[in-house]
Amino acid sequence: MLPSARLLRTKILTDGFQEDHNFSFLISSILVFGIADIADLLVLLSYSIVSDCCLGNTPNRLNPNCIAIPVPQDDPYLRRTGVRCMNLTRFPTFQEMQCAPNSLPAERYVILSTPLIDLSTVYGSTSERERQIRAYEGGLLKSEMRNGLEYPPGTAAICINNRRPIENSCYEFGDSYGGNLVSGTYLTAMWFYREHNRLARRLAEINPCWGDQKLFETARQINIAQWQYILYYEATAAVLGRENALEAGIIYDTDEYVNDFDPRYKPGTYHEYIVGIRWFHTLQDERNDLYSRDGRYLGTRTGVDDAFRSGILEVNNTEADLTQGTFRQRAAKVDYNMDPDLAERLFGELQNAGDLPAIDMMRGRDEGLAPYHEYRKLCGLPHAHKFSDLEDTIYPDKLEQMRRIYDGEIDDVELMVAIYSERLIKGGWVGPTLFCIMARNMIEWRKSDRFFFEHGDIPAALTLPQLREVRSTSTARIICDNGDRVDMIQPHAMYNIGKGNELAPCETIPGIDLMKWADPHCHGDAHKEEPNTFKDDDYWAKYYYKK
């Protein structure tokens, strides 16, 4: 029997916090948003509101949808609280989601998001969902204007933590669960939602003969291309190390096309990626600092208390102040500490206690992930037969803790526990096994996506001048264009403000020149406005609606 995930967590990761000297708070927000794009977060809402997985202080073994976490009597942080059980719900099965017959084996992990990097948090994962959020006018997404800012339409079902009647707003993104999860996701989702409409309006000015469908599809293509560029060339290059990412073939140092589409690769997301990428929780600071436009510290919000509470954005300039905090505040240091709020009180008042890294470990068990040494072997590391064979990747103090807790059984050592304990690779901020898992999935995403932004060998591809414009964008530019009252930001916004990365006026931050999308057919009296649908031979439209 495996030891308590809570016991493992308290031995491997301690409660504590130090500021990072490299990364800003923004990097964890972008990484959270990246998970929301490829992994359905509905299960987190279920976890937040379902509380019967603990019967008093005893795990409920009778409910098949529960995998509650027992808390040891001598727990270093909870022993005086009386809490001996942490609530945790399991992922639904395909049968429970009515996606498969009962005659098939029950598969617990159902991903409702699309299996590619495509802003499904903004646009949804199905054509039906996309139709629900479109305005069908000018290529726009539905929106509402309040206090001079554009917001998605409202929804009432998601923001269970809003303090009504003051906090009333909750936003109808393509994936409303992911978009309204925490401040990092609802700010980032808001920026890209607004960016779509900004692009559509500007394209309509440049190409007045374009109809709604052409404007929508082009704005969507540009928006997704920017997101893919930011995730690959900014966020991933930062945490894995740019040189490491180049060597692995995740990114390329070129201003030409990268035609690496390969039909042998199939779109998909590894369970190991979804579990392993949660390493970034060590970067998270749950103190969400508020700053004024001139850099004055205004106060702090606690992130765990703002889960499913996007109604805060429109109260007392909170959106503007939080946005300033995303790039002015430092991230948590990459170390073996976990922010106490994430480790002890995840989702705040919605649960008696919640330990995020312990939950991550339990998710790996629930999904039936293989032992850590099997992933070492897959990643080209020497096969480990005994604990001493792990010394090349795991720090000695962590290895000794694991030897004791797992009672010397190397086959019991779990992937997530080891990921939290591995030595960092040269030039990067992750261990070798997580690097291998991330690299493999990110390479497969780009190789399996015929419409990845750098591919130039299909009719719907960006032209080379357009591709070069996309490569000029950045998170800083997205925030300048779509954040609330942002007029200065550091050019490399995922890194801290400092020498060589000083705050700069937004007008100096490079961005996309949409004139590269000017359509010569739109100028002159001889041409009529295009119809509001793509032609039959438009490969982009055929691909999307088929999908």
pLDDT band at 347 (very low <50, low <70, confident <90, very high): low
pLDDT at 3: 92
- pLDDT tens digits for range 220-241: 999 999 999 999 999 999 999 9
Return the higher-pLDDT residue of 157 and 308: 308
- Indicate whether 46 pLDDT > 70: no
In angstroms, the Cα distances linking 252 to 147, 245, 328, 454, 516 are 42, 8, 29, 10, 23
pLDDT at 162 over 70: yes
Q: With cut-offs at 50, 70 and 90, classify the pLDDT of residue 547.
A: very low
Q: How confident is the model over 115-139, as pLDDT tens digits? A: 899 999 999 988 999 999 999 999 9
Element (H, E) at 287: strand 287-291
- CA dist., res. 9 & res. 319, Å (int): 34
> Are 389 and 382 in contact, with CB atoms under 8 Å apart?
yes
Annotated binding-site residue numbers: 281
User: What pLDDT is recorded for position 134?
Assistant: 97
- Write the CB contacts of 57 (distance below 8 Å, at least 6 apart in sequence): 82, 83, 84, 85
pLDDT in tens, 455-466: 999 999 999 999
Instruction: Extract the annotated binding site for heme b.
Output: 281
- φ, ψ dihedrals at 354, nearest 5°: -155, 130
pLDDT at 339: 85
Per-residue pLDDT, 114: 86
Q: What is the pLDDT of residue 462?
A: 98
Q: Evaluate whether the domain defined by 5-369+414-522 bears CATH number 1.10.640.10.
A: yes
Is residue 533 pLDDT above 50, yes or no? Answer: no
- Write the pLDDT tens digit of every residue in 50-86: 567 888 788 888 888 888 899 999 998 888 888 888 8
Per-residue pLDDT of 443-485, as tens digits, reads 999 999 999 999 999 999 999 999 999 999 999 999 999 999 9
- Whether residue 164 contacts residue 148, with contact meaning beta carbons closer than 8 Å, is answered with no
Tell me, what's the pLDDT at 366?
Answer: 86
pLDDT band at 524 (very low <50, low <70, confident <90, very high): low
What's the token pair of residue 225?
Answer: 């291309």
Query: In whole angstroms, what is the distance from residue 49 CA to residue 279 CA?
Result: 25
Work out the angle at residue 148's Cα, subtended by the Cα atoms of residues 143 and 152, and round it to the nearest 5 degrees.
20
Q: What are the pLDDT digits (tens) for 143-156?
A: 999 988 999 998 76
Q: Residue 179: its pLDDT value, please? A: 62
DSSP state of 169: -
Q: Are 162 and 306 in contact (CB under 8 A)?
A: no
Which position has the higher pLDDT, 94 or 355?
355
CA distance 288 to 302: 6
Give the confidence band of 543 by pLDDT, cuts at 50, 70, 90: very low
C-alpha 169: how far from chain center: 22
Tell me what pLDDT residue 91 has.
Answer: 77
What pLDDT, on the 0 to 100 scale, is given for residue 101?
83
Q: How far apart are CA 77 and CA 79, in angstroms?
A: 6
Q: Which of 149, 147, 122, 140 is nearest to 37 (CA)?
A: 122
Q: For residues 31 and 71, is the Cβ–Cβ distance under 8 A?
A: no
- pTM of the entire predicted model: 0.91
3-class DSSP state of 354: strand
End-to-end CA distance of the chain: 43
Give the mean pLDDT of the chain.
88
pLDDT at 338: 87
Q: Over pLDDT 70: what percentage of the chain?
A: 90
Helix (H) or strand (E) holding 150: strand 149-151
